[in-house]
Amino acid sequence: APPSTFHFNYTKSSSDRATLLCEVDGAFPMPHLKMYRLLVDSEDDQAELVNVQLTTERKEGYYRAVMTSEVMDNALPQDEATVFLCSYSFKEIKYQRLKRLTYMPGSPPEKDEDGNTSSKNSTPILWLVFLCFYFGLS
């Protein structure tokens, strides 16, 4: 079952660092999470983040997985935004979804109309991923 919740956002833990948080809740089977950073001057080259913490739990037959990663502003380009991706997949079936967020060093998180931190709309990317899997182009 696809998750009931899929969030990707960040919080500023201090003026020079942020904590990325990707959460998938209400999924079955166990979702596999990964975080990436899009590389500069590229739309599709990405580097998987390796300094991550993953927490999983199972409740009432469904899984919740939370992945976090701390990002230091001085390790990122200072004059442009950095794009991060979070994806989840199920190894048992060809199913993957992703969300992206744009992070600018030193800036507070973006807020939506309800005052919640938000990530950018990833609908076009989701369709592209879906079509690739559907037509076997992956």
Q: Could you read off the pLDDT of 50-70 as tens digits, one per residue? A: 999 999 999 999 999 999 999
Residues 5-29 have a mean pLDDT of 95
- Arithmetic mean of pLDDT over the chain: 82
Q: For residues 20 and 117, which has the higher predicted lDDT (pLDDT)?
A: 20
Which residue range(s) make up the domain with 78? 5-134
End-to-end C-alpha distance for the chain, whole angstroms: 22
Point out which residues pair with 24 in neighbouring strands: 6, 65
Counting the structural domains of the chain, the total is 1
| Cis peptide, bond prior to residue 29, ω within 30 of zero | yes
Place of tokens 């739990």: 57
Which pTM value belongs to this model? 0.74
Q: Could you read off the pLDDT of 77-124 as tens digits, one per residue? A: 888 899 999 999 998 888 899 999 999 997 665 554 445 554 444 444
pLDDT computed for residue 94 by the predictor = 86
pLDDT computed for residue 93 by the predictor = 85
> The domain that contains 39 carries what CATH number?
2.60.40.10
The structure tokens listed for 138 are 């992956």
Q: How confident is the model at residue 73 (pLDDT cuts 50, 70, 90)?
A: very high
